[in-house]
Amino acid sequence: MASKIQTSSLEVRKASITFLALLFALAAGGCTVLKPVLPQPEVLSLTPAASGSLAEVSAEISRIHGPEKSAFMLLIRNDDAMNWRLALVDHATTSIDVQYFIWQGDEASNLLFNRLLNAADRGVRVRLLVDDFVLAAKDRDIAAICKHPNLDIKIFNPGKVRESTLGGIGEFFLYFRELNRRMHNKLLVIDGSMAIVGGRNIGNPYLGLSRKYNFRDLDVLVAGAVIQELSQAFDQYWNAETAYPGAAMAKVDDPNALQSIRHQVSQRMAENRETLASYPLEPKNWEAQLRQLPSRMKAGEAHFIQDEPDQSSGVEYRLLDMLDYLAKPSHEELIMVTPYLIPVKGFLENLARLESEGVEVSILTASMGANNHTIAHSHYKKYRRRILATGADLYEFRHDPSPEMRDAIDVPPVHSKFLCLHVKALVGDRKRCFIGSLNIDPRAIEINTENGLYIQSSELAEELARQFDLMIAPENAWRVYLTEDGELRWESSLGTVSSQPARSFGQRIGDFFYRLIPIESQL
């Protein structure tokens, strides 16, 4: 036993020395963000496709609503969110531009990547931009994929330490300011004709296939005049200094490396047939669904808003600055949906001001049970009383909502253990709305980059408001209120409780300790 303890102690000392040596090397190396050896050429979006199903449907939408208008369709169900991504990719003829914070290495991600690879094989130019923070792919695989003549990958703000988890953690803390800024944006633009914008990342929980938990989420399918803004917004990030070329992530000498990845993708698809049973595993003809879009989409005007990709040294324009300006016209009602709610400076004061002006403010966030990041909830709960004191109505989404709600979230054959909220949206007077990547917390508002669509459409805003009414129904959410004695209560179809709803006793224990960790500004 003593020998084992001595050996263990020696291993710890060796690990400590290695870690310190790594930190020293990093400190000596200066800025940690990877830089291309040579300047990268500017690459811009292609002109909109002149032919193909997407171009024809887009032209029909413009004919119906006019060239200055845009059209929108909410993607509420997780299966719809995946199927419409597959449909757009399957019918792409010229270009696909993809931007996401998370691209997981699971069944949903593998399915969509396989479709992107298929599109590239038939001559479609594919550009894929992913944040580095939780990137599942290995550097060598990324570089190998970039060998494809029509498929290019860039990684946003990558660190230098790529192979060591311990070293990566050390690097993150040593270069905290540079690496802490993450690209939380979500955007998919196809043929310069149609796009999907919203809150979903690419992974099982966002598309209904996780057996642990799945998200109630939201995207919007877009066509019309605003597509040009989306393409320009993507170009800004693709050509930013912080977007590192995937081809430079690793040296790949094996001429069969790309073919090996194709084989791996095919093998995974075969292994995951059962989980992916609700989705078509091969490209298919979606013509019938596409032809229905002009009659299903709601018309309106829209503007795409996003943060700058590169952090400036001076006063930085933030997406929320524009949202604050856009929310001011609200005179009757303001609806806010955010899974993570931690008020930043001025937020509570603005809520109180709106209430004093006669605006009815309603907020839906995640209950502790419906939060996939308990630590975020632990710091939100400190503000419950102050939020209620402004006069706002506060609701918390349940982790065990109605069967009807679950039907829109889980995708057969999957039945997840619990459900979480991931919708990010604002609705003003049921006339205007914002749908995008923005949470109402310090990380989203002050640190990460975010994007989204500001839409002026009474029809779409009314539909989104009806979805909000459904989500806050007693069978789907807890209404939080204060008693006359100032005690917090949670009320739903299950009754009224005096302790915040949770999934388990273990989650309550974690919540107790998480609130003591002083990292609120990073959540």
Amino acid present at 489:
R
By three-state DSSP, how is residue 395 classified? strand
Largest CA distance in the chain: 82
Domain ranges of the chain: 54-293, 312-522
CATH-assigned architecture of domain 312-522: 2-Layer Sandwich (3.30)
Q: Tell me whether residue 192 is exposed, middle or buried, using C-beta atoms within 10 angstroms of its C-beta: 0 to 12, 13 to 18, 19 or more.
A: buried
Judged against a pLDDT cut of 90, whether residue 287 lies above it is answered with yes
pLDDT band at 376 (very low <50, low <70, confident <90, very high): very high
When the candidates are 3.40.309.10, 3.20.20.140, 3.30.870.10, 1.10.10.10, the CATH number that belongs to 54-293 is 3.30.870.10
- Measure the CA–CA gap between 482 and 497, rounded to whole angstroms: 12
Q: In the prediction, which pLDDT does 5 show?
A: 30
| Per-residue pLDDT reduced to its tens digit, 20-42 | 333 343 343 444 456 555 678 99
Comparing 148-162, 187-201, 302-316, which segment has the lowest mean pLDDT? Answer: 302-316
Q: Of 461, 507, 115, 178, nearest to 298 (Cα)?
A: 461
Q: CA nearest 278: which of 68, 13, 78, 133? A: 78
Asked whether the predicted pLDDT for residue 472 surpasses 90, the reply is yes
Same fold, 54-293 and 312-522: yes
pLDDT in tens, 316-368: 556 666 666 666 788 899 999 999 999 988 889 989 999 999 999 999 999 99
Cβ burial of 47 (10 Å; 0-12, 13-18, 19+) is exposed
Tokens encoding 226: 């605003």
Q: Is the pTM of this model over 0.95?
A: no
Average pLDDT value over all residues in the chain: 89
- Cβ burial 446-472 (10 Å sphere, 16+ → b, else e): ebbbbbbbbbbbeebbebbbebbebbb
Give CA–CA dist 61/55, Å, rounded: 10
